[in-house]
Amino acid sequence: MKDREQKALDAYSLLLKLDNEEKLMLMMDQQLTWAKSQQYHAELDFLWQKIIDEKRKLPNTSPTTLAPDSLIDLVLSLGYYFINLMPVSRSTAMVAQCTTAGLLLGLGRETVGRAPIKKEVLMEALTSRGPEAFCSKIRSWHSIKKATSALTHLESVSDRFQTYRQMIKALHYDLPTSCTSYRSP
């Protein structure tokens, strides 16, 4: 795929194709090399360490302390590399968005808004020239503001789930089946 300046975008090929029912399909083929994968892993490790270092530099480590914009950009960049590293699936962008939202909440921020109609976070990450371009696009779609409520009143995950087994059991809980008796007729 090429952008307007005719520079190649690496790692993905996009193809328009007719299926058996004569419907137009957009197909994406990921061509992630070992070297590119290692580069993304290194970027993720670097960004994570930088997020930790920047968080430690904040004057007050309470959850209500607002993180600076530079720290927010690091979190959004982490989402960019996460999307570009993971195999493309229906859930790749959603996992990245949930992770990003969780990290932002941990920094005392929350996001409000959504991608414009006919735009997708996944495609923006895959076709952006880099994390800076991705961050500016996401910031134009979402309002990142101070969290409306402090998270200090919530129970600690480690207090609630002392073992990984307890956490996995909670994640596999069949909530829809359990809630059928509470549905109104």
pTM above 0.95, yes or no: no
Report pLDDT digits (tens) over 62-90: 555 567 888 899 999 988 888 877 766 66
**Residue-level pLDDT at 169:** 72
**Residue-level pLDDT at 171:** 63
Q: Name the most confidently modeled range: 52-61, 73-82, 102-111, 120-129.
A: 73-82
More confident residue, 167 or 42: 42
Question: What DSSP string runs through the chain?
Answer: -B-TT-PBPPSEEEEEEE-TTS-EEEEEEE---HHHHHHHHHHHHHHHHHHHHHHHHSS--STTSPPPHHHHHHHHHHHHHHHHHSPP-TTHHHHHHHHHHHHHHHTTEEEEE-PPTT--HHHHHHHSSSHHHHHHHHHHHEEEEE-SS-STTSPPHHHH-SSHHHHHHHHT--HHHHTGGGS--
Domain range list for the chain: 33-159
Report pLDDT digits (tens) over 98-114: 888 888 888 888 888 88
